[in-house]
Amino acid sequence: MSSDTTMTGAAPSITIARRGLMLVLSSPSGAGKTTISRRLLETDPELHLSVSVTTRTRRPGEVDGVHYQFIDSESFGLMVNRQELLEHAKVFDYYYGTPKEQVEKRLASGQDILFDIDWQGTQQLRQRARDDLVSVFILPPSTRDLEKRLKTRAQDSADVVAKRMSKAADEISHWAEYDYIVINDDVERCLAQVHAILRAERLKRHRGVGLVDFVKQLREGR
């Protein structure tokens, strides 16, 4: 079990072992969750990306095994049947899922895991691992801004952009299912808010698996 620094001062810092957490970021397409996810991973060495499996094709710049594990539909179906996925969902005609073995090992060793998934996957994670889950929903400042971002990133055809916009209202309707809501009107401010959430959640009492022994030592005068 790895440890997390939870107390600092003039003396050497005290480290207390803790269980890792699952940080979920969701948003309608184009609201910025991928950008925020990337920035979090760049600035927080304690956070690790959960690499999902997907049946969709690779986008420009994506690396197999780094951004996603790209597999065919038959392989995905086998993983579902073998119960090898913590969550899975169909999004825009493609399937996505989270392999559970690696996630469970990292949580037990005190590592934090970042999930870039939609509301369907979040609901499944909540049912299976509620105490480990910290969910954040990212809202755009306006639907006009959302459409502009989708067109500007030039990753999808006009038809796909229209399809994503038509589904945005349904995705946004699930905002109340999340622990935290942030509005991405400014990337730096949004990033700072998510960082604050992550720091606070790491200090939650129930994650501090080493606290019992530490407090016992204090009571014994050690």
Query: Which residue is listed with tokens 């016992």?
Result: 216
Element (H, E) at 88: strand 85-91
Distance CA 134, CA 181 (A): 11
Strand partners, 179: none
3-state DSSP call for residue 16? strand
CB atoms closer than 10 angstroms to residue 10: 4
- Amino acid 147: pLDDT: 67
Provide the residue type at 18 as one letter: R
Binning pLDDT at 50, 70 and 90, where does residue 156 land?
low
Q: Decide: 135 and 24 in contact? Cβ < 8 Å.
A: yes
Q: Is residue 218 in a domain? A: no
Q: Is residue 47 in a domain? A: yes
Per-residue pLDDT tens for 76-118? 999 999 999 999 988 888 999 999 988 999 999 999 999 988 8
Q: Is residue 219 in a domain? A: no
- As a whole number, mean pLDDT of residues 202-214 equals 93
Q: Is residue 107 in a domain? A: yes
Containing structural domain, residue 168:
3-7+19-210
State both tokens at 205. 């009492």
Distances (CA, A) of 191 to 136, 162, 187, 199: 12, 28, 6, 12
- As a whole number, mean pLDDT of residues 169-192 equals 93
| CATH code of the domain in which 35 resides | 3.40.50.300
Provide the residue type at 62 as one letter: E
Model confidence at 3: pLDDT above 60: no
Distance CA 48, CA 136 (A): 16
**Rounded to two decimals, what is the model's pTM?**
0.79
Average pLDDT, the chain: 87
Q: Is residue 82 in a domain? A: yes
Count of structural domains, the chain? 1
Q: Is residue 126 in a domain? A: yes
- Amino acid 18: pLDDT: 94
State both tokens at 111. 């590592």
- Amino acid 200: pLDDT: 97
Q: Is residue 215 in a domain? A: no
State both tokens at 177. 């299912």
Element (H, E) at 57: none
| 46 HSE (CA, 13 A, CB side) | 19
Q: Is residue 220 in a domain? A: no
Q: Which of 25-39, 98-112, 142-156, 190-204 has the lowest mean pLDDT?
A: 142-156
3-state DSSP call for residue 221? coil
CB atoms closer than 10 angstroms to residue 165: 17
Distance CA 80, CA 22 (A): 21
